[in-house]
Amino acid sequence: MVVTRFAPSPTGYLHVGGARTALFNWLLAKKMGGKFILRIEDTDTKRNTPTAAQQVMDDLQWLGLNWDEGPGIGGENGPYLQSERRDIYDKYIQQLLDEGKAYYCFETPEELAAIRDEAAKAKKALVYPRPATYPTLDDVEKAKSEGRPVVVRFAMPGTDVVITDVVRGEVNVAAGEIGDFIVQKSDGFPTYHMAVVIDDELMGVTHIIRGQEHLMNTPGHQALQDALGFRRPTYAHMSVTVSESGGKLSKRERPKALKNFIKSRSEINVDELVGIGGITAEQLESFVKGKTIPDMPIIDAIAKHIGLKLPEINIVDFFKSGYLPETMINFMGLLGWSTSDDREIMQLAEQIECFDLKRLAKSNSLFDRKKLLSFNTEHIRLVGEEKLLANFKNYLQEINSPLNAADDELLKRFLTANAGARTLADVEVKCRFVFVENDAIQYDEKAVKKVLMKGNALEILAEIRSRFAAMEEITAEGIEKLLRDLAEEKEVGLGKVAQPLRVAICGNTISPPIFESVDIIGMESTLKRIDKTLEKFSEA
């Protein structure tokens, strides 16, 4: 059976790169009728944050990437948090030690840095100078008493290595290129290399799809597998997704965008930003100078304060911007992968059906936000009324929208009235006017100037008001007929009638179709808003 896994380290939100990795592993498992495991690689006690693992799981769930085994649901190969598997790693590390395939080291960071410098000077890769005879347990005790760090290194066999990779074919790495690497850190935790090899073996992982950044780790992993008598899983190293600004698409993108914006705008007084999102003056100064990066919620708060839209990187960012999970799945699945027949817009079932590991691309791909937008437009159209509604409700809750007050029926009307919207955010913004008090409409300056103050717009608005007031039965069709008739009588285009009315009821020139808009807020509110508008702008 095919077993794949996604193994994030809980250091932050799930970002596009990680989600894409998860997706391909998930897709392969689904396609082959196999199993998809979630494992949390929390062996770095310094970098882990307590909420990150949960956030990552929430994000995976939002995307619909459910796991068959892992945190929250368990499974026969648990525990699924590496921090809870210490005894397992210890056992294998001991085995390596016993068999002379690993040895203790006691260098301080400074001594290690010196070795590194020397290697750099000699223009060679850093290879740890393996001692002729390995330190004994007595040496370990002695080092400990001297306060030296104790680590365990794996003794790389001195043979050339051939990596067989589904994407890249055979990759040759010369002996001596990969030095003896650490398998157990001085805090007793295994390194990534050790933990990943053991867990993949024990959990029965058959296929490992991961980023290209791991390609050069593979010789070490294979050597470890051989030393421990493990199977070799099938590897597929995917190309990297790069951003418009060049380089790997990373979580640093957002802070970077914010910093650059602050620096580029002289009108922004940095001192006034202190306190926003809880940032201190020192943190802010350090951030603007590019020395440190504040936490994401602080970044978000400041960006919001100065009205800057940050590029979406984390999966939640896309959620908050009104993208559908269906869009993200479809789009990420096409980053460095393609169908054989030019299909692009696909439903999930179709995507699973045609998934093929062999079609992973070798070259890097750029994350094209414009194309993502167009995919979202398409999926909003395709996803179906019920799913769209569910997505919309999730979204409204996530952003804490005033539209949360609407019932399902109303929400559905919003959605159908906005067919063709690019994001759920577009729909939300366009429908907010419904939940504003009749006397609290904010008039957009440009809209007033361009529409209300032009020609006889106010006259027409007054005429609409009196005709509306005289309507006996109020229906969307009736409203439409009334407005069309009026336009015809006045011998003007419908725009001359619809636009003043639109500005009157929602304060700007952008809203759902006008007949629908009037019908949604109701005739009573419409009349009140027209009165208010007439009153406010007539004397001018």
Partner RNA sequence: GGUCCCAUCGUCUAGUCGGGCCUAGGACACCGGGUUUUCAACCCGGCAACAGGGGUUCGAAUCCCCUUGGGACUACCA
Task: Name residue, tokens 């495991």.
Answer: 37
- Smallest CA-to-CA distance from 352 within 26, 35, 112, 122 is with 26
Catalytic residue flag (residue 251):
yes
Q: Is the dihedral of CA 372, 374, 375, 380 positive or negative?
A: positive
Between residue 50 and residue 109, which ones bind RNA under the rule CB under 7 A?
A: 107-109
Q: In whole angstroms, how close is the CB of 168 to RNA at the nearest point?
A: 5
Phi-psi region of 322 (alpha: psi -120 to 50; beta: other; left: phi over 0): left
Between residue 261 and residue 300, which ones bind RNA under the rule CB under 7 A?
A: none
First to last CA, the chain: 77
**For residues 43 and 206, which CB has a smaller minimum distance to RNA in the complex?**
43
Q: In whole angstroms, how close is the CB of 44 to RNA at the nearest point?
A: 4
Question: Counting beta carbons within 10 angstroms of the beta carbon of residue 265, is it exposed (0 to 12), middle (13 to 18) or buried (19 or more)?
Answer: exposed
Part of the chain binding RNA (CB under 7 A), chosen from 315-323, 404-412, 421-429, 453-461: 421-429
Between residue 113 and residue 142, which ones bind RNA under the rule CB under 7 A?
A: 116, 120, 123-126
Q: How far apart are CA 435 and CA 182, in angstroms?
A: 60
Q: In whole angstroms, how close is the CB of 157 to RNA at the nearest point?
A: 17
Answer for which of 74, 297, 384, 493 binds RNA (CB under 7 A) is 493
Answer for which of 55, 83, 95, 217 binds RNA (CB under 7 A) is 217
Question: Counting beta carbons within 10 angstroms of the beta carbon of residue 464, is it exposed (0 to 12), middle (13 to 18) or buried (19 or more)?
Answer: buried
Q: Is residue 47 near RNA by the rule CB under 7 A? A: yes
Q: Is residue 420 near RNA by the rule CB under 7 A? A: yes
**For residues 65 and 421, which CB has a smaller minimum distance to RNA in the complex?**
421
Classify each residue of 315-349 as buried b or exposed e, where b means 16 or more C-beta atoms within 10 Å of its C-beta.
bbbbbbbbbbbbbbbbbbbbbbbebeeeeeebeee
**For residues 60 and 273, which CB has a smaller minimum distance to RNA in the complex?**
60
* Three-state secondary-structure class, residue 342: coil
Residue type, 408: D
Part of the chain binding RNA (CB under 7 A), chosen from 84-92, 95-103, 213-221, 261-269: 213-221
Q: Choose the catalytic residue: 35, 101, 251, 256.
A: 251
Q: In whole angstroms, how close is the CB of 222 to RNA at the nearest point?
A: 14
Between residue 320 and residue 339, which ones bind RNA under the rule CB under 7 A?
A: 334-338
**For residues 30 and 430, which CB has a smaller minimum distance to RNA in the complex?**
430
Between residue 221 and residue 240, which ones bind RNA under the rule CB under 7 A?
A: 239-240
Q: How far apart are CA 27 and CA 355, in angstroms?
A: 7
Please, how many CA atoms are within 13 Å of residue 377, restricted to the half-sphere of its CB? 9
Q: In whole angstroms, how close is the CB of 398 to RNA at the nearest point?
A: 21
**For residues 276 and 450, which CB has a smaller minimum distance to RNA in the complex?**
450
User: In the numeric block, which tokens belong to residue 205?
Assistant: 């992982």
Bridge partners of 105, per DSSP, are 151
Q: How far apart are CA 372 and CA 351, in angstroms?
A: 17
Q: In whole angstroms, how close is the CB of 490 to RNA at the nearest point?
A: 13
Between residue 357 and residue 416, which ones bind RNA under the rule CB under 7 A?
A: 359, 361-366, 368, 370-371, 373-374, 377-378, 381
Task: Name residue, tokens 């809870």.
Answer: 84
Part of the chain binding RNA (CB under 7 A), chosen from 27-35, 139-147, 254-262, 504-512: 504-512
Q: How far is CA 145 from the centre of its chain?
A: 47
- Smallest CA-to-CA distance from 499 within 539, 528, 441, 460 is with 460
Q: How far apart are CA 490 and CA 459, in angstroms?
A: 11
**For residues 242 and 410, which CB has a smaller minimum distance to RNA in the complex?**
242
Cite the active site residues: 251
